[in-house]
Amino acid sequence: MKNIRCCSTSTFIVIFIYTTILVTACLTHAAGFDSVIQLPPSGLRRTRIRSRWVLSVSDYGAKGDGLHNDTEAFLEAWKIACSLSGFINVVFPYGKTFLVHPVDIGGPCRSRITLRISGTIVAPPDPVVWDGLNQRKWLYFHGVNHLTVDGGGRINGMGQEWWVRSCKINSTNPCHPAPTALTFHRCKDLKVTNLMLINSQQTHMSFTNCMRVAASHIKLSAPAFSPNTDGIHISSTKGVEVRDCVIRTGDDCISIVRNSSRVWIRNISCGPGHGISIGSLGKSKKWEMVQNVIVDGAYLYNTDNGVRIKTWQGGSGFASKITFQNILMENVSNPIIIDQYYCDSRHPCQNESSAVRVENISFIDIQGTSATEEAIKFSCSDASPCEGLYLENIFLASYVPGNTSAICWQAHGTARGFLYPPVCFSISDDAFIRHNIRLGSNPAIHSV
């Protein structure tokens, strides 16, 4: 009998412990997030199951009312997150608006941080806040590896006062820089997803000198008249995938500039804005290159340009191995354009003998309507003509009654399939075969 009672008690204890664990796990699963233990006022929370720390900026003094300055609370939360090890979440909670002044967030960090923006971050509306600071930056992250930014929230650059002061809005104003809303510099293994950026002071999001970047499900929006408000800017960055984004701004939806390579853009909605651009390259006689770029799947509407390559006279370097394919356009000015005489200046640009080389560029399966008669325009350099251009299955009709045309200057290449407007260089099957062989020998960029 003693043995029976002993065994029954032990069995009861085992069953009780097992049941407690099972109920806790079920409740945790049903709630949709990890069960956490509230630690003392440090603001740290830790999940037992996945060993993840959760740091809310509200626990560090952030008011979240859109009026009080919450910058120091953000910096304090980030400082602690960066010093810990493991996987850390820094959270801007849903339903609140956090006023954040210009911040410089540096790495490296011991941890892998997820910046979860579920609420709204707003910039100071008055440019005077930047007096004495770098006027090109607002939220600036540099040297942070394995960073993820997501949360479904909003970043508002409050750019209205900056636009009014721009020399592009009022030519009597002096030209001054304005902040990029969200900058990532020298970051590796970066992921940005599920965010909305609106009304940036200038460029909305910028990747500079980064490696292995994935950006997806991002909405970027500013009025069509807002100056220089590029959506996504990629510079000196290698291994980039941008997909499933909606971009409506006053400048390039996506711009890819100097020394960037292995870039894959897909499933992009763009308009209004200036289209999807490679460049500008070669300004101030610089050597610059962009190579191994694929834009695959885009809808462009009411944009000033469609797919564009632009270079300055006098520069050097190259734009090479670039493909634009599976693109639909509606009422787009300059749907397909290469411009080696680009000049974004108050004064006329001087003629120069040198130029950035443009070569091995493909335009495949592009259809829609053009707002201008010149639906295809290749304006290439006398000293360095465009080589290896390739067109296949192009149909670009006029948005209004009338015809469209293609214009070529110093442009050489081949074409295949249905072409409207008619191509302005010769069609050669031999060159088409060489084109396919060249594409087959290119290193795959899908590894990004």
Query: How far apart (Å, rounded) are the C-alpha atoms in residues 385 and 278?
Result: 17
Q: In sequence order, which residues have a C-beta less than 8 Å from that of residue 402 and are 6 or more positions away?
A: 373
User: Using alpha carbons only, what angle is made at residue 264 by residues 258 and 269, rounded to the nearest 5 degrees?
Assistant: 100
8 A C-beta contact, residue 257 and residue 293: no
CA atoms within 13 A on the CB side of 255: 25
Q: Which residue has 């479904």 as its token pair? A: 152
8 A C-beta contact, residue 389 and residue 412: yes
Rg (CA), the chain: 26
SS3 439: helix
Of 204, 274, 347, 412, the catalytic one is 274
Q: In sequence order, which residues have a C-beta less than 8 Å from that of residue 68 and are 6 or more positions away?
A: 99
Pure H helices in 84-223: 160-164
Peptide bond into 421 cis (omega under 30): yes
- Burial grade of 343 (CB within 10 A; 0-12, 13-18, 19 or more): middle
Residue 274 is a catalytic residue: yes
The Cα-based distances of 14 to 21, 48, 249 in angstroms read 11, 21, 62
CA distance between the termini of the chain: 69
The token duo for 244 is: 């499933």
Q: Which residue has 């590029």 as its token pair? A: 230
Query: How far apart (Å, rounded) are the C-alpha atoms in residues 332 and 368?
Result: 8
Q: Which residue type, as a one-letter code, is found at position 148?
A: T
Which residues have a catalytic role annotated? Answer: 274
